[in-house]
Amino acid sequence: MNITLRQLHIFREVAESGSFTRASKRLFLSQPAVSMQIKQLEQAVGQPLLIKLGRGLMLTDAGEEMLELSRSMLDRMHLTAERLQLISDGQVGRLHLVVASTVSSVATRLLARFKTDHPAVQISFEVTNRQGLIERLEDNQTDIALMGQPPDRLPIKAVAFMGNPLVTIAAPDHPLVQRGRRASLKKLIKHGFVVREPGSGTRMAMERLFSERGMRLEASMEMNSNEAIKQAVEAGLGLGVVSLHTLSHELSEKRLSIVDAEGFPILRSWYLVQRRDKLLSPLAMQFRRYVLQEAALMGTRQHESGLFNAPLTR
| pLDDT tens readout for residues 204-263 | 999 999 999 999 888 889 998 889 999 999 999 999 999 998 898 899 999 999 999 999
Task: Please confirm whether the linkage preceding 265 is cis (ω < 30° from 0).
Answer: yes
Quick check: 307 pLDDT over 50?
no
What is the amino acid identity at position 56?
G
Q: Do 129 and 207 fall within a single domain?
A: no
Q: Where among 55, 88, 121 does a domain terminate? A: 88
Alpha carbon dihedral 252, 254, 256, 261, in 10-degree steps, equals 80
**Cut 0.85: pTM above it:** no
The pLDDT confidence band at residue 300, using thresholds 50, 70 and 90, is: low
Interior/surface letters 7-21, b for 16+ CB within 10 angstroms, e for the rest: bbbbbbbbbebebbe
User: For residue 288, what pLDDT is reported?
Assistant: 94
Same domain, 151 and 286: yes
Q: How far are the Cα atoms of 56, 130, 244 from residue 251, in angstroms, in the given order?
A: 81, 26, 10
Strand intervals (E) in the chain: 50-53, 56-59, 94-100, 122-128, 144-147, 156-170, 193-196, 219-223, 239-243, 257-259, 266-275
pLDDT at 16: 93
Same domain for 46 and 118? no
Q: Does residue 63 fall inside a structural domain?
A: yes
User: Which one of 39, 61, 88 terminates a domain?
Assistant: 88
Q: Do 156 and 279 share a domain, yes or no?
A: yes
Report the CATH number at residue 247.
Answer: 3.40.190.10
Residue 240: closest CA among 210, 203, 199, 187:
203
The answer to whether residue 138 is domain-embedded is: yes
Residues 137 and 279 grouped into a single domain:
yes
Do 152 and 169 lie in a common domain? no
Number of domains, the chain: 3
pLDDT class of 290 with cuts at 50, 70, 90: very high
Give the mean pLDDT of 29-39.
95
My answer on whether 144 and 184 are in the same domain is no
Same domain, yes or no, for 250 and 292? no
Least confident range of 14-28, 57-71, 113-127, 213-227: 213-227
Chain mean pLDDT for the chain: 89
Residue at 226 is within a domain: yes
**Is residue 147 assigned to a domain?**
yes
Q: Is residue 56 part of a domain?
A: yes
47 and 98 inside one domain: no
**185 lies in the same domain as 57:** no
For residue 305, give every residue at least 6 positions away whose Cβ sits within 8 Å of its Cβ, in sequence order, or none. Answer: 248
Domain with 184 in it = 164-267
Domain shared by 21 and 68, yes or no: yes
Whether 155 is in a domain gets the answer yes
Torsion, Cα 10 16 17 21, to 10 degrees, reads: 20
Q: What is the mean predicted confidence (pLDDT) over 267-289?
A: 93
CATH assignment of the domain containing 38: 1.10.10.10
Same domain flag for 102 and 77: no
Better-scored residue on pLDDT, 302 or 226: 226
Final residue belonging to a domain, choices 251, 267, 283: 267
Whether 314 maps to a domain, the answer reads no
- What is the Cα gyration radius of the chain? 32
* Average pLDDT rounded to a whole number, residues 41-47: 94
Q: Is residue 51 a part of any domain in this protein?
A: yes
- Give the whole-angstrom CA distance, residue 145 versus residue 126: 10
pLDDT tens-digit series, residues 159-201: 999 999 999 999 999 999 987 789 999 999 999 999 998 888 8
Specify whether the CB–CB gap between 158 and 273 falls below 8 A.
yes
Query: What is the band of 62 on the pLDDT scale with cuts at 50, 70, 90?
Result: very high
Q: Which of 64-68, 115-119, 270-274 has the lowest mean pLDDT?
A: 115-119
